[in-house]
Amino acid sequence: MLNGIGGCTIAEAKANISYAEVLAWVAYRDKYGSLSFGRRLELSSAIVALQVNRMNGGKAELVDFMPHAARAEVSLEQALEEWA
């Protein structure tokens, strides 16, 4: 169920989706970005913040204004060392 609203479970959706449909969704995400409204809003806000920063002589990067964006890949070994 989708947030208790209805629809199928994740397992059912995975079982019923075709490879062609997966490719279509991947192409959509590549063109338009995340399907998450929160992430899209975060990106829009980050773009505005970056422009304000640059107008005031700042040298920040877009990711600096996106707290939920992944900054770098972390190996399993690094994660275990840092988080254990």
User: Any idea which of 7-11, 17-21, 71-75, 80-84 has the lowest mean pLDDT?
Assistant: 71-75
* Residue, of 68 and 2, whose pLDDT is higher: 68
pLDDT digits over 29-66, tens only? 888 887 888 888 998 999 999 999 999 999 999 989 99
* Distance linking the first and last C-alpha atoms of the chain: 34
Whole-model pTM over 0.85: no
Rounded CA separation 42/48 (Å): 10
Q: Where are the domains of the chain?
A: 1-32, 35-84
Q: CB under 8 Å to 9, separation ≥6 — which residues?
A: 1
pLDDT at 1: 47
